[in-house]
Amino acid sequence: MTDMPVERFEVSLNTPAGLLTMPVEVPTGFVPVTTIVPLMRRLSQQAQALEERKSVAAGHPISCRMGCAACCRMLVPVSAPEAFALKDMILALPDARRARMMTKLSETRARVEQAGLLARLTDVAETTQPLIDEEMEPLNREYYALRMPCPFLENETCSIYEDRPAACRELLVTTPAELCQDMVKNQVQALPVPVRISTVMGALWSELVGGPARLIPLPIALDWAERHSAERSLVWKGTQLLDKALDKVWRYLSQELAHRAEAGSRMQRGTEGTSSGN
């Protein structure tokens, strides 16, 4: 992750789909919060891989394939650490590719502004109040109605695949791919997400800086990162970042385990009630 010395650990987490064990390395010195982003994304992917194997074993394979980019028209939230990491990634690109990407981002921003959504997206990014799904749903639907491709989409393929946001990695479906062409009208069955890493990193950022757990709309993530560039320069001990991040992961996994256990109990009670009625 950096050139400084690292400490090596083995992380073990109990997920709803099984035990996740993963070796990790963290710098021993002081580093920016972006250092933790690749590690958290890898953890998310391994947790999702366990869910995928469980789903396949139950006869529900994943429908998503390369070039199937219907979900790349949705409004994607990113955490503050991801926004900073995205900006760093773009700045490190070769000049020509960076220029093309910045042009596409500007075009997306202009279209969002023309649709009357830019101010609302900015309000979401800068709010100091907690956001709930019900409040975000109207904005999500209006954005999705634009059918606007993600600015990082090229020829229906993600051009930043290795650096794509956690939310993109976590959306996998088991229903036929053609249903994703209209996810408002069609019932699309998504693979359960054991822990939303963008939420984890948002909560981590909140604890680190004492502010809100931000989720920033992807089309304006670079604008947000630019406005908050002073915060990007803050540093923490690498092991401290890991401990705090894993604490958040554990808490969200515990909530998900409890939620699924309760859902399973309700289903069992419903089955027993049906059998008694018969």
pLDDT along the chain (278 residues), means of 10: 82 95 94 96 94 95 87 94 97 96 95 96 90 84 94 93 94 90 87 94 95 91 95 95 97 94 84 63
The DSSP H or E segment spanning 276 is helix 238-277
Give the pLDDT confidence score for residue 264 in this predicted structure. 86
Asked if residue 117 lies in contact with residue 143, where contact means CB atoms within 8 angstroms, the answer is yes
Q: What CA–CA distance (Å, rounded) separates 82 from 262? A: 32
Q: What is the 3-state secondary structure (H, E, C) of 118-160?
A: HHHHHHHHHCCCCCCHHHHHHHHHHHHHCCCCCCCEECCEECC
Give the pLDDT confidence score for residue 65 in this predicted structure. 85
Asked if residue 235 lies in contact with residue 32, where contact means CB atoms within 8 angstroms, the answer is yes
> Which pair of structure tokens corresponds to residue 180?
């994703």
Confirm whether 205 is domain-assigned: yes
How big is the chain, counted in residues?
278
Asked if residue 200 lies in contact with residue 251, where contact means CB atoms within 8 angstroms, the answer is no
Give the pLDDT confidence score for residue 2 in this predicted structure. 55
Question: What is the β-pairing status of strands 153-154 and 77-78?
Answer: unpaired
Asked if residue 194 lies in contact with residue 186, where contact means CB atoms within 8 angstroms, the answer is no
Give the pLDDT confidence score for residue 214 in this predicted structure. 85
Q: What is the model's pTM?
A: 0.91
Q: Provide the 3-class DSSP secondary structure of residue 109.
A: helix
The total number of structural domains that make up the chain: 1
Confirm whether 106 is domain-assigned: yes
Confirm whether 251 is domain-assigned: yes
At 172, the amino acid letter reads L
Q: What CA–CA distance (Å, rounded) separates 237 from 230? A: 18
Q: What CA–CA distance (Å, rounded) separates 32 from 70? A: 34
Residues of the domain holding 74: 6-273
Confirm whether 108 is domain-assigned: yes
User: Is the C-alpha dihedral spanning 220, 75, 127, 41 positive or negative?
Assistant: negative
Q: What CA–CA distance (Å, rounded) separates 34 from 88? A: 9
Contacts of 274 (CB under 8 A, 6+ apart): none
Confirm whether 278 is domain-assigned: no
Confirm whether 1 is domain-assigned: no
Confirm whether 40 is domain-assigned: yes
Confirm whether 33 is domain-assigned: yes
Give the pLDDT confidence score for residue 88 in this predicted structure. 96
Partners of 9 in the β-ladder: 24
For tokens 């799904």, what's the residue? Answer: 133
Asked if residue 43 lies in contact with residue 73, where contact means CB atoms within 8 angstroms, the answer is no
